[in-house]
Structure 1
Amino acid sequence: MNKLLFYIFICFTASGFSQNKLKSLLKKHNKESIPYIYVKELKEQATLPILLDARESSEYKVSHLKNAIYVGYDNFKINTVKTKIPNKNAKIVVYCSLGIRSESIADSLKKAGYNNVENLYGGIFEWKNNNLPIYNSEEKVTDSIHAFSKTWGKWIKKGTKVYE
Protein backbone atom coordinates (compact mmCIF):
# COMPACT_ATOMS: atom_id res chain seq x y z
CA MET A 1 0.00 0.00 0.00
CA ASN A 2 2.85 2.43 0.78
CA LYS A 3 4.30 1.85 -2.70
CA LEU A 4 0.96 2.72 -4.27
CA LEU A 5 0.68 5.94 -2.29
CA PHE A 6 4.26 6.83 -3.19
CA TYR A 7 3.53 6.20 -6.90
CA ILE A 8 0.39 8.38 -6.77
CA PHE A 9 2.37 11.13 -5.01
CA ILE A 10 5.14 11.01 -7.64
CA CYS A 11 2.64 11.13 -10.53
CA PHE A 12 0.72 14.01 -8.97
CA THR A 13 3.88 15.94 -8.16
CA ALA A 14 5.38 15.43 -11.63
CA SER A 15 2.14 16.54 -13.29
CA GLY A 16 1.89 19.61 -11.07
CA PHE A 17 5.56 20.42 -11.62
CA SER A 18 5.10 20.25 -15.39
CA GLN A 19 2.09 22.57 -15.21
CA ASN A 20 4.01 24.97 -12.96
CA LYS A 21 6.86 25.02 -15.47
CA LEU A 22 4.41 25.77 -18.30
CA LYS A 23 2.78 28.48 -16.20
CA SER A 24 6.21 30.03 -15.58
CA LEU A 25 7.11 29.86 -19.27
CA LEU A 26 3.88 31.58 -20.33
CA LYS A 27 4.24 34.20 -17.59
CA LYS A 28 7.75 34.95 -18.85
CA HIS A 29 6.68 35.41 -22.49
CA ASN A 30 3.11 36.70 -22.24
CA LYS A 31 1.52 39.86 -20.88
CA GLU A 32 -1.67 37.92 -20.11
CA SER A 33 -3.60 40.63 -21.95
CA ILE A 34 -5.94 37.97 -23.35
CA PRO A 35 -7.80 35.55 -21.08
CA TYR A 36 -6.79 31.92 -21.31
CA ILE A 37 -9.13 29.07 -22.03
CA TYR A 38 -7.88 25.70 -20.86
CA VAL A 39 -7.98 22.51 -22.93
CA LYS A 40 -10.53 20.91 -20.61
CA GLU A 41 -12.86 23.92 -20.91
CA LEU A 42 -12.52 24.09 -24.67
CA LYS A 43 -13.18 20.41 -25.28
CA GLU A 44 -16.31 20.54 -23.09
CA GLN A 45 -17.91 23.41 -25.02
CA ALA A 46 -21.31 22.38 -26.43
CA THR A 47 -20.67 24.58 -29.44
CA LEU A 48 -17.05 25.02 -30.34
CA PRO A 49 -15.90 28.60 -30.86
CA ILE A 50 -14.14 29.71 -34.01
CA LEU A 51 -10.58 28.38 -33.79
CA LEU A 52 -7.73 30.38 -35.29
CA ASP A 53 -4.32 28.77 -35.80
CA ALA A 54 -1.57 31.37 -35.30
CA ARG A 55 1.34 29.19 -36.41
CA GLU A 56 3.12 29.04 -39.73
CA SER A 57 1.70 27.21 -42.74
CA SER A 58 4.18 24.33 -42.46
CA GLU A 59 3.09 23.74 -38.86
CA TYR A 60 -0.62 23.90 -39.75
CA LYS A 61 -0.21 21.39 -42.58
CA VAL A 62 1.37 18.81 -40.28
CA SER A 63 -1.21 19.18 -37.52
CA HIS A 64 -4.02 21.46 -36.40
CA LEU A 65 -7.23 21.38 -34.41
CA LYS A 66 -10.36 20.28 -36.28
CA ASN A 67 -11.99 23.10 -38.26
CA ALA A 68 -9.28 25.59 -37.28
CA ILE A 69 -8.77 28.50 -39.64
CA TYR A 70 -5.17 29.15 -40.53
CA VAL A 71 -4.24 32.82 -39.96
CA GLY A 72 -0.49 32.48 -39.51
CA TYR A 73 1.87 34.57 -37.46
CA ASP A 74 4.70 36.10 -39.51
CA ASN A 75 2.33 37.06 -42.33
CA PHE A 76 -0.83 37.60 -40.26
CA LYS A 77 -3.26 40.08 -41.81
CA ILE A 78 -6.19 41.37 -39.77
CA ASN A 79 -8.17 42.04 -42.96
CA THR A 80 -8.19 38.30 -43.69
CA VAL A 81 -9.87 37.70 -40.34
CA LYS A 82 -12.32 40.58 -40.85
CA THR A 83 -13.39 38.99 -44.14
CA LYS A 84 -13.77 35.49 -42.68
CA ILE A 85 -15.27 36.59 -39.36
CA PRO A 86 -17.33 39.78 -39.78
CA ASN A 87 -19.13 39.27 -36.44
CA LYS A 88 -17.01 41.07 -33.81
CA ASN A 89 -18.99 39.33 -31.05
CA ALA A 90 -18.15 35.82 -32.26
CA LYS A 91 -16.42 33.61 -29.71
CA ILE A 92 -12.87 33.09 -30.97
CA VAL A 93 -10.07 30.96 -29.55
CA VAL A 94 -6.58 31.56 -30.92
CA TYR A 95 -3.89 28.95 -30.50
CA CYS A 96 -0.31 28.26 -31.50
CA SER A 97 2.21 25.72 -30.21
CA LEU A 98 2.13 26.79 -26.55
CA GLY A 99 0.13 30.03 -26.33
CA ILE A 100 2.81 32.67 -26.92
CA ARG A 101 2.38 33.65 -30.56
CA SER A 102 -1.38 33.29 -30.21
CA GLU A 103 -1.46 36.02 -27.55
CA SER A 104 0.04 38.46 -30.03
CA ILE A 105 -2.53 37.55 -32.71
CA ALA A 106 -5.36 37.69 -30.17
CA ASP A 107 -4.16 41.18 -29.16
CA SER A 108 -4.46 42.25 -32.80
CA LEU A 109 -8.02 40.91 -32.88
CA LYS A 110 -8.86 42.76 -29.68
CA LYS A 111 -7.47 46.02 -31.12
CA ALA A 112 -9.60 45.45 -34.24
CA GLY A 113 -12.73 45.34 -32.08
CA TYR A 114 -13.24 41.61 -31.51
CA ASN A 115 -14.44 41.37 -27.93
CA ASN A 116 -14.81 37.65 -27.24
CA VAL A 117 -11.28 36.33 -27.82
CA GLU A 118 -9.40 33.79 -25.73
CA ASN A 119 -5.93 32.25 -25.91
CA LEU A 120 -5.61 28.45 -25.66
CA TYR A 121 -3.39 27.77 -22.64
CA GLY A 122 -0.57 25.47 -23.70
CA GLY A 123 -1.73 25.57 -27.33
CA ILE A 124 -1.84 22.57 -29.62
CA PHE A 125 0.93 20.91 -27.55
CA GLU A 126 -1.30 20.82 -24.47
CA TRP A 127 -4.23 19.67 -26.62
CA LYS A 128 -2.20 16.70 -27.88
CA ASN A 129 -0.74 16.04 -24.41
CA ASN A 130 -4.34 15.51 -23.28
CA ASN A 131 -4.78 12.79 -25.94
CA LEU A 132 -7.14 14.89 -28.03
CA PRO A 133 -7.23 14.51 -31.81
CA ILE A 134 -5.28 16.66 -34.23
CA TYR A 135 -5.64 16.70 -38.00
CA ASN A 136 -3.31 16.83 -40.98
CA SER A 137 -3.67 18.74 -44.25
CA GLU A 138 -6.04 16.05 -45.55
CA GLU A 139 -8.27 16.57 -42.48
CA LYS A 140 -7.44 13.08 -41.21
CA VAL A 141 -6.54 12.35 -37.60
CA THR A 142 -2.78 12.20 -37.18
CA ASP A 143 -0.36 11.39 -34.42
CA SER A 144 2.24 13.74 -35.94
CA ILE A 145 2.59 17.15 -34.37
CA HIS A 146 4.79 19.94 -35.63
CA ALA A 147 7.20 20.64 -32.78
CA PHE A 148 8.41 24.05 -34.07
CA SER A 149 11.96 23.48 -32.77
CA LYS A 150 13.93 21.18 -30.48
CA THR A 151 13.74 23.82 -27.74
CA TRP A 152 9.96 24.12 -27.87
CA GLY A 153 9.37 20.48 -28.81
CA LYS A 154 10.33 19.38 -25.30
CA TRP A 155 6.84 20.50 -24.22
CA ILE A 156 5.24 17.76 -26.34
CA LYS A 157 4.66 14.65 -24.26
CA LYS A 158 2.38 12.70 -26.66
CA GLY A 159 2.46 12.09 -30.39
CA THR A 160 5.21 12.01 -32.99
CA LYS A 161 7.27 15.19 -33.18
CA VAL A 162 7.90 16.58 -36.65
CA TYR A 163 10.59 19.16 -37.38
CA GLU A 164 10.60 20.83 -40.79
Structure 2
Amino acid sequence: MKNIILILLFLCSTAVFAQKSIDKLLKKYNDNSIPYISPQELTLPETNVFLLDSRELKEYETSHLKNAIHVGYDHFKMDSIHKKIPNKNSKIIVYCSVGIRSESIGDSLKKAGYKNVKNLHGGIFEWKSNNLPVYNKEEKETDSIHTFNKTWSKWLKKGIKVYE
Protein backbone atom coordinates (compact mmCIF):
# COMPACT_ATOMS: atom_id res chain seq x y z
CA MET A 1 0.00 0.00 0.00
CA LYS A 2 2.83 2.39 0.88
CA ASN A 3 4.46 1.73 -2.53
CA ILE A 4 1.22 2.50 -4.34
CA ILE A 5 0.90 5.81 -2.52
CA LEU A 6 4.50 6.72 -3.39
CA ILE A 7 3.93 5.86 -7.05
CA LEU A 8 0.76 7.96 -7.14
CA LEU A 9 2.57 10.90 -5.53
CA PHE A 10 5.38 10.60 -8.08
CA LEU A 11 2.96 10.51 -11.02
CA CYS A 12 1.02 13.52 -9.73
CA SER A 13 4.17 15.56 -9.11
CA THR A 14 5.48 14.68 -12.59
CA ALA A 15 2.23 15.88 -14.18
CA VAL A 16 2.28 19.11 -12.15
CA PHE A 17 5.95 19.72 -13.05
CA ALA A 18 5.26 19.13 -16.76
CA GLN A 19 2.29 21.53 -16.63
CA LYS A 20 4.36 24.22 -14.89
CA SER A 21 7.19 23.75 -17.40
CA ILE A 22 4.84 24.23 -20.35
CA ASP A 23 3.30 27.26 -18.63
CA LYS A 24 6.76 28.77 -18.17
CA LEU A 25 7.66 28.11 -21.82
CA LEU A 26 4.41 29.66 -23.09
CA LYS A 27 4.88 32.74 -20.88
CA LYS A 28 8.35 33.18 -22.36
CA TYR A 29 7.19 33.14 -26.00
CA ASN A 30 3.51 34.12 -25.96
CA ASP A 31 1.67 37.23 -24.86
CA ASN A 32 -1.71 35.49 -24.30
CA SER A 33 -3.32 37.44 -27.12
CA ILE A 34 -5.34 34.32 -27.95
CA PRO A 35 -7.12 32.61 -25.03
CA TYR A 36 -6.13 29.04 -24.28
CA ILE A 37 -8.31 25.97 -24.24
CA SER A 38 -7.04 22.93 -22.35
CA PRO A 39 -6.88 19.46 -23.90
CA GLN A 40 -9.52 18.38 -21.37
CA GLU A 41 -11.90 21.16 -22.43
CA LEU A 42 -11.39 20.31 -26.09
CA THR A 43 -12.42 16.68 -25.47
CA LEU A 44 -15.89 17.80 -24.38
CA PRO A 45 -18.52 17.13 -27.04
CA GLU A 46 -18.82 20.12 -29.34
CA THR A 47 -20.25 20.57 -32.78
CA ASN A 48 -19.10 22.98 -35.46
CA VAL A 49 -15.56 23.42 -34.16
CA PHE A 50 -12.78 23.95 -36.67
CA LEU A 51 -9.40 22.52 -35.63
CA LEU A 52 -6.50 24.19 -37.44
CA ASP A 53 -3.06 22.57 -37.35
CA SER A 54 -0.45 25.32 -37.75
CA ARG A 55 2.54 23.00 -38.05
CA GLU A 56 4.37 22.13 -41.23
CA LEU A 57 3.05 19.37 -43.50
CA LYS A 58 5.58 16.70 -42.43
CA GLU A 59 4.57 17.31 -38.80
CA TYR A 60 0.87 17.10 -39.65
CA GLU A 61 1.31 13.92 -41.71
CA THR A 62 3.15 12.23 -38.83
CA SER A 63 0.25 12.97 -36.48
CA HIS A 64 -2.59 15.39 -35.97
CA LEU A 65 -5.83 15.73 -34.07
CA LYS A 66 -8.84 14.03 -35.63
CA ASN A 67 -10.55 16.19 -38.27
CA ALA A 68 -7.87 18.89 -38.06
CA ILE A 69 -7.29 21.05 -41.12
CA HIS A 70 -3.65 21.61 -42.04
CA VAL A 71 -2.96 25.35 -42.48
CA GLY A 72 0.80 25.39 -41.86
CA TYR A 73 2.92 28.17 -40.47
CA ASP A 74 5.71 29.14 -42.87
CA HIS A 75 3.34 29.24 -45.83
CA PHE A 76 0.10 30.14 -44.03
CA LYS A 77 -2.41 31.88 -46.32
CA MET A 78 -5.45 33.68 -44.95
CA ASP A 79 -7.25 33.23 -48.30
CA SER A 80 -7.43 29.47 -47.71
CA ILE A 81 -9.05 30.09 -44.30
CA HIS A 82 -11.70 32.40 -45.76
CA LYS A 83 -12.66 29.64 -48.19
CA LYS A 84 -12.79 26.90 -45.54
CA ILE A 85 -14.33 29.01 -42.77
CA PRO A 86 -16.39 31.85 -44.25
CA ASN A 87 -18.33 32.55 -41.02
CA LYS A 88 -16.16 34.77 -38.82
CA ASN A 89 -18.17 33.76 -35.74
CA SER A 90 -17.18 30.08 -36.11
CA LYS A 91 -15.45 28.44 -33.19
CA ILE A 92 -11.80 27.86 -34.15
CA ILE A 93 -9.14 26.01 -32.16
CA VAL A 94 -5.63 26.45 -33.51
CA TYR A 95 -2.73 24.28 -32.36
CA CYS A 96 0.91 23.47 -33.08
CA SER A 97 3.53 21.49 -31.15
CA VAL A 98 3.34 23.43 -27.87
CA GLY A 99 1.23 26.52 -28.58
CA ILE A 100 3.70 29.15 -29.84
CA ARG A 101 3.23 29.07 -33.61
CA SER A 102 -0.50 28.61 -33.10
CA GLU A 103 -0.73 31.87 -31.15
CA SER A 104 0.79 33.68 -34.12
CA ILE A 105 -1.73 32.07 -36.50
CA GLY A 106 -4.50 32.86 -34.01
CA ASP A 107 -3.41 36.52 -34.04
CA SER A 108 -3.67 36.52 -37.84
CA LEU A 109 -7.17 35.06 -37.63
CA LYS A 110 -8.18 37.65 -35.04
CA LYS A 111 -6.82 40.51 -37.20
CA ALA A 112 -8.82 39.10 -40.13
CA GLY A 113 -12.00 39.43 -38.06
CA TYR A 114 -12.49 35.93 -36.64
CA LYS A 115 -14.06 36.40 -33.23
CA ASN A 116 -14.00 32.98 -31.57
CA VAL A 117 -10.39 31.75 -31.76
CA LYS A 118 -8.62 29.74 -29.06
CA ASN A 119 -5.15 28.25 -28.77
CA LEU A 120 -4.72 24.65 -27.57
CA HIS A 121 -2.65 24.97 -24.39
CA GLY A 122 0.53 22.93 -24.76
CA GLY A 123 -0.41 21.97 -28.33
CA ILE A 124 -0.31 18.43 -29.65
CA PHE A 125 2.46 17.58 -27.14
CA GLU A 126 0.17 18.28 -24.18
CA TRP A 127 -2.71 16.56 -25.99
CA LYS A 128 -0.66 13.36 -26.39
CA SER A 129 0.74 13.67 -22.85
CA ASN A 130 -2.86 13.47 -21.65
CA ASN A 131 -3.23 10.11 -23.45
CA LEU A 132 -5.50 11.57 -26.10
CA PRO A 133 -5.46 10.09 -29.61
CA VAL A 134 -3.61 11.44 -32.64
CA TYR A 135 -3.83 10.23 -36.23
CA ASN A 136 -1.37 9.82 -39.08
CA LYS A 137 -1.85 10.76 -42.76
CA GLU A 138 -3.82 7.52 -43.31
CA GLU A 139 -6.14 8.63 -40.46
CA LYS A 140 -5.00 5.69 -38.31
CA GLU A 141 -4.27 6.21 -34.64
CA THR A 142 -0.55 6.53 -33.92
CA ASP A 143 1.82 7.14 -31.03
CA SER A 144 4.30 9.02 -33.23
CA ILE A 145 4.55 12.77 -32.78
CA HIS A 146 6.75 14.98 -34.95
CA THR A 147 8.68 17.07 -32.45
CA PHE A 148 10.16 19.49 -35.02
CA ASN A 149 13.73 18.87 -33.83
CA LYS A 150 15.69 17.28 -30.98
CA THR A 151 15.61 20.43 -28.87
CA TRP A 152 11.82 20.69 -28.90
CA SER A 153 11.37 16.95 -28.35
CA LYS A 154 12.03 17.40 -24.61
CA TRP A 155 8.55 18.92 -24.27
CA LEU A 156 6.82 15.72 -25.41
CA LYS A 157 6.29 13.53 -22.34
CA LYS A 158 4.44 10.60 -23.99
CA GLY A 159 4.56 9.09 -27.44
CA ILE A 160 7.25 8.28 -29.99
CA LYS A 161 9.40 11.28 -30.87
CA VAL A 162 10.02 11.83 -34.60
CA TYR A 163 12.09 14.78 -35.80
CA GLU A 164 13.87 13.76 -38.99
TM-score by length of 2: 0.94
Distance in 1 (alpha carbons) for counterparts of 2:38 and 2:92: 13
Distance in 1 (alpha carbons) for counterparts of 2:88 and 2:48: 16
Contact persistence 2:146–2:162 (CA under 8 A): yes
Distance in 2 (alpha carbons) for counterparts of 1:34 and 1:123: 13
The Cα shift of 1:141 comes to 1.1
Contact persistence 2:48–2:90 (CA under 8 A): no
The Cα shift of 1:161 comes to 1.1
Moved more, 16-25 or 99-108: 16-25
Unaligned runs of 5+ in 1: none
Deviations for 1:84-143, whole angstroms, at most 9, x for unmatched residues?
110000000000000000000000000000000000001011111111111111111111
Counterparts of 1:47-126 in structure 2 under 5 Å?
47=47, 49-126=49-126
The Cα shift of 1:157 comes to 1.6
Task: Give, as a single letter, the amino acid of the residue that structure 2 aligns with 1:147.
Answer: T
Identity of aligned residues (%): 62
Task: Give, as a single letter, the amino acid of the residue that structure 1 aligns with 2:43.
Answer: K
Aligned twin of 2:13: 13
TM-score by length of 1: 0.94
Secondary structure of 2:118's counterpart equals strand
Moved more, 99-108 or 42-51: 42-51
The Cα shift of 1:3 comes to 4.5
Task: Give, as a single letter, the amino acid of the residue that structure 1 aligns with 2:163.
Answer: Y
Q: CA RMSD in A?
A: 1.3
The Cα shift of 1:57 comes to 0.7
Distance in 2 (alpha carbons) for counterparts of 1:12 and 1:127: 17
